[in-house]
Amino acid sequence: MITFCLKLIQHTHINHCKTIQKNSGFNRMWIVDNSVDVIQKITDIKHGSAKNIRTFDFSTLYTSIPHRKLKEQIDWVISECFNDDSRKFIKIGKESAHWSSSRGKKGHCWDKDELIKHVKWLITNIYVTCGDSMFKQVIGIPMGTDCAPFLANLFLFAYEYKWLTKKFKAKEFDDLKKFNICFRYIDDLLCINNDQLMDRVMTEIYPEELSLTSDDAVLQSHYLDLDLEIRNGNIHSKLFDKRDAFGFSIVNYPDLSGNVPAKQSYGVFVSQLIRYARCCMSAKDFIHRTKIRIRKLTTQGFKANKLRHVFGKFAANYYELLFKYNLPTDEICNSCC
């Protein structure tokens, strides 16, 4: 129930920050759900204007957050959303939660104080057993709970939003511009055209208990499942998979020599094609990745002619993903299969 509420809180802040950016031109929301959000913003960058790229990582995020500061920031994040007549209560269903102007008579419904109370109770009452001993957790986010990612995300968002708002009120617009293309997936941070400003202000933004480290690259870096590289002022993306560097083969994807349903298993190929097409900006990278996947699947009982048929259906249903390659779908299919 807390997870559903915090998900709604996060979504409300995202929408609020979109309105702020539309009116002011400055981005105050760095949270992303996946690499698709990153790709969409990268494609909007003005042609030839990409200068540098840096990635950062909180080395010990989950285990370093003090409970006092976590409660304070989550209290603020939640309270900021209950500021409208249509957002006085949160009604909680079996799979989601939504805002309501009244409590109603059926189902679970929390107001601001009740939600804050439940979150604080959860943070305070986390215990871990080891053998015959029991320990109370007094620092760090409750691991294993469904809401842990939202607690981490919103905790960091509170500091980021407050710092960006402070800069806006001080009319330090040049600094704000350098944070317009920032993305954060929980503890992984990506800054584009930041001119290394994050290195100098990270201690201003985040609490002293958190350690933010970075790579030294400025023209190429890895972020989530993306390999990003600046070429002639433009960002080129392709798929990044750290397992490619492993010195052994990975056991993954269905093996049709077993009892798994064959028809449904071919859906794995479609899901990977969608992923490749979203991540790879060039047809060459997409074709390369697809060939590797086909070789892997054919060694696990998949039929080459059936994979080609599935590719054709993918090209027909997701043609907009292949349109950027400026090649006929038949030519791409022949190159892959």
Chunked in runs of 10, what are the mean pLDDT values of the chain (337 residues)?
97 96 95 91 87 91 91 97 93 94 87 96 92 92 87 96 96 95 95 94 94 86 93 92 85 89 91 94 94 93 93 92 90 89
Is the domain of 213 the same as that of 278? no
Is the domain of 205 the same as that of 270? no
Is the domain of 133 the same as that of 17? yes
Domain boundary among 234, 256, 271: 234
* Collapsed DSSP state (helix, strand, coil) of residue 91: strand
Is the domain of 58 the same as that of 23? yes
> How far does the chain reach from its first CA to its final CA, in angstroms?
47
Domain boundary among 234, 264, 285: 234
With CA atoms as reference, report the closest residue to 273 among 301, 309, 219. Answer: 309
Q: What's residue 93's pLDDT?
A: 93
For 237, half-sphere exposure in the C-beta direction (CA atoms, 13 angstrom radius) is: 24
Q: How far apart are CA 3 and CA 96, in angstroms?
A: 9
3-state helix, strand, coil in the chain (%, to 5): 50, 15, 35
Q: How far apart are CA 196 and CA 76, in angstroms?
A: 29
Number of domains in the chain: 2
Is the domain of 61 the same as that of 172? yes
Between the alpha carbon of residue 39 and those of residues 2, 232, 237, the distances in Å are: 30, 18, 8
Q: What's residue 100's pLDDT?
A: 94
Is the domain of 59 the same as that of 130? yes
pTM: 0.89
Q: What's residue 25's pLDDT?
A: 93
Tokens coding 256: 């049709």
Q: What's residue 105's pLDDT?
A: 79
Is the domain of 179 the same as that of 33? yes
Is the domain of 221 the same as that of 260? no
Contact 202, 191 (CB under 8 A): no
Pairing of strands 89-92, 97-100: antiparallel
Residue the block writes with tokens 């805002």: 99
Q: What's residue 14's pLDDT?
A: 96
Is the domain of 228 the same as that of 268? no
Q: How far apart are CA 29 and CA 80, in angstroms?
A: 15
Tokens coding 331: 């030519």
Q: What's residue 162's pLDDT?
A: 97
Q: What's residue 249's pLDDT?
A: 84
Is the domain of 163 the same as that of 222? yes
With CA atoms as reference, report the closest residue to 62 among 154, 142, 161. Answer: 142
Q: How far apart are CA 21 and CA 26, in angstroms?
A: 5
Domain boundary among 234, 255, 280: 234
With CA atoms as reference, report the closest residue to 294 among 249, 336, 255, 332. Answer: 336
> How many other CB atoms are there within 10 angstroms of residue 57's CB atom?
13
Is the domain of 146 the same as that of 276? no
Instruction: Please give the residue range of the domain that contains residue 202.
Output: 2-234
Is the domain of 315 the same as that of 209? no
